Amino acid sequence: MDQNIPELLERLRAGDQEALGALVDLLYDELRRIAAGKLRAERTEHTLQTTALVHEVYLKLVGEPLIHFSDRGHFLAVAARVMRQVLVDYSRARSSKKRGGGAVEHTAIELIGSGFDDFERVKLLDLDRALDDLAGEDTGLANLIEMRYFAGMTAEESAEALGKSVHVVRHDLRLAQAWLRRKMAAQDFASD
C-alpha cells in the first residue's frame, strides 16, 4: 500500500490533481484516525464528525495551489495544519454565533501527553494564536507542534519527515512546548 505513495506524490508534482484523491484514499484510515483523535480531544458535544473533518481537509487541499509533498510524513504534516485551520474556522464560526446570545463559548482541545501539565484543556483559538506567534519566531518549532498534536505523528515520524535526528526533534519539541506554556500562561490562555 505505502509503495504507491511515492508514485502518487510524483504524479501530484507533475500536476495530476487526480493523484491527490488517490493519495487521500490511500491514507484515508490514517487521516480518519488523526481526525478522530482531534475531535475526541475537544468537548464532547462537538457537532463536527470525523468523516466531515477529513472531507473538509480534502476540499481545502484541492482548493490550494499545487503543493509539492516530499513524502508521506510531509503530506500528513500539511493535513495536520489544514485540520487545525478547519477546527479553528469551526470554532470561530460557533463563537460568532454565540456572541449575540450572551457568553461566548470557545472550543477547547485537550492536549494529552503534550507537556502542558498546568492545563490539560486549552482554548483552541488561543492555542491557534499562540502557534501563530511561535511560527513568527520559529516556523520549524510551530510545525513540530502541529505534526505532533494535530497529526499525531511520533518524534520518529517527524524526524523522518523533516530529515532530522530523533534526538533533535525531541529537543525541539520540548523547546516548543516550553515556549507555548510560557506564552499561554502569560496571556492567561489556560482554561479554568
pLDDT digits over 17-65, tens only? Answer: 888 889 889 888 888 887 777 676 665 555 678 888 888 888 888 877 6
Name every residue whose Cβ is closer than 8 Å to that of residue 70 and which is 6 or more positions away in sequence.
9, 161
Report how far residue 163's alpha carbon sits from residue 99's, in angstroms, rounded to the nearest whole number.
Answer: 45
Mean pLDDT for 9-16 is 85
Is pTM beyond 0.85 here?
no
Task: Please tell me what DSSP assigns to residue 108.
Answer: E
pLDDT digits over 56-100, tens only? Answer: 888 888 877 667 787 887 888 888 888 878 888 887 777 666 555
* Sign of the torsion formed by the C-alpha atoms of 174, 150, 139 and 156: positive
Distance of CA 6 to the CA centre of its chain: 23
Cα dihedral value 27, 149, 13, 168, nearest 10: -120
Q: What is the mean pLDDT of the chain?
A: 76
